């Protein structure tokens, strides 16, 4: 069993408050039995993206920053992995990033949001990421292959598909937006069609434009509901309400691995030689917005 703590919080007034609140939340997650603690999107600023380029750069942190170092130190002390999110110092503009720190205090994966929300002026100020890395995370439950998406990434089937093709078993999804029926359906679908576990952590109600409802889906769409009878099943492991809290999602890894060996989804029956249009830049003109990033 792999236990992922969803740190459904509201941000403090400044990065210093967020650091202290985040460290305290990680300690509580460990006390609950977590193997991984997952933050909502861009925790160090509380998803605040300044319009002033100088202020924006000043609020960004790098891999050697005190902010990241504090979580590396704590992860080692707690013997627990931490997926911490932050505005990353990067040129020419900062990035929206999550770093997965293992239980030994080492950063094993850093992912920057690929599908920045360029329809909104706020995220146009950021540099998009350039790939979907997957890392093998050493946990008390054994090694597990982990990837990440951030918020708007979930709306592109390619994000989870590429992570699955690289071996991801669990996908961590920091989030900062209202989670409603259709967005939750996207996450359920990404889990189902790729046979992966997906853990999403949103800000609690009270954070601007957020409403909690952090979720976890185990990706196993069929199961034995009674001896000898296999039917469709609910893949939802956990759905939080709106309130602040730490919610523990328990992923049955060995069952998921066995399911991936036996079922027909994921990479089992794909026909990639027919999907060339998906990898090309040419798109039918009626579907290209004038503000589309090249």
Query: Residue 33 in 3-state DSSP?
Result: coil
54 is catalytic: no
Q: 26, 30, 88, 151: which one is catalytic?
A: 151
Strands (E), 40-90: 81-88
CA dist 294 and 288 (Å) reads: 10
Q: Which of 83, 88, 115 is closest to 99 using CA atoms?
A: 83
Q: 41, 169, 201, 210: which one is catalytic?
A: 41
Q: 26, 88, 113, 169: which one is catalytic?
A: 113
State whether the Cα torsion 64-67-69-72 is positive or negative.
negative
CA dist 165 and 195 (Å) reads: 11
Q: What angle do CA 240, 25, 33 make, to 5 degrees?
A: 75
151 is catalytic: yes
Please provide residue 39's backbone torsions phi and psi, each rounded to the nearest 5 degrees.
Answer: -95, 160
- 201 is written with which tokens? 């952590």
30 is catalytic: no
Q: Any idea which residues carry the catalytic annotation?
A: 41, 113, 151
């Amino acid at each position: 069993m792999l236990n992922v703590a969803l740190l459904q919080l509201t941000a403090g007034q400044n990065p210093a408050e967020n650091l202290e609140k985040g460290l305290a939340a990680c300690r509580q997650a460990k006390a609950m039995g977590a193997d991984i603690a997952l933050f909502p999107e861009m925790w160090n600023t509380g998803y605040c993206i300044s319009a002033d380029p100088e202020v924006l750069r000043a609020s960004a942190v790098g891999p050697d920053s005190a902010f990241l170092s504090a979580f590396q130190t704590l992860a080692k002390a707690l013997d627990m992995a931490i997926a911490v999110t932050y505005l990353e110092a990067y040129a020419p503009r900062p990035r929206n990033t999550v770093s997965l720190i293992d239980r030994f205090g080492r950063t094993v994966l850093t992912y920057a949001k690929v599908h920045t929300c360029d329809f909104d002026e706020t995220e146009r100020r950021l540099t998009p990421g350039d790939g979907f890395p997957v890392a093998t995370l050493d946990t008390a439950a054994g090694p597990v292959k982990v990837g990440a998406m951030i918020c708007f990434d979930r709306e592109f089937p390619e994000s989870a598909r590429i992570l699955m093709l690289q071996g991801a078993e669990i996908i961590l999804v920091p989030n900062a937006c209202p989670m409603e029926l259709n967005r939750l359906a996207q996450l359920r679908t990404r889990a189902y069609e790729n046979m992966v576990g997906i853990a999403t952590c949103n800000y609690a109600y009270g954070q601007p434009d957020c409403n909690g409802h952090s979720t976890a889906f185990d990706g196993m769409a069929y199961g034995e509901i009674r001896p000898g009878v296999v039917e469709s099943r609910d893949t939802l492991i956990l759905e939080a309400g709106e309130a602040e809290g730490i919610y523990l999602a328990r992923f049955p890894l060995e069952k998921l691995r066995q399911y991936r060996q036996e079922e027909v989804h994921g990479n089992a029956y794909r026909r990639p030689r027919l999907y060339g249009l998906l990898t090309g830049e040419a798109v039918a003109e009626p579907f290209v917005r004038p503000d589309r990033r090249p």
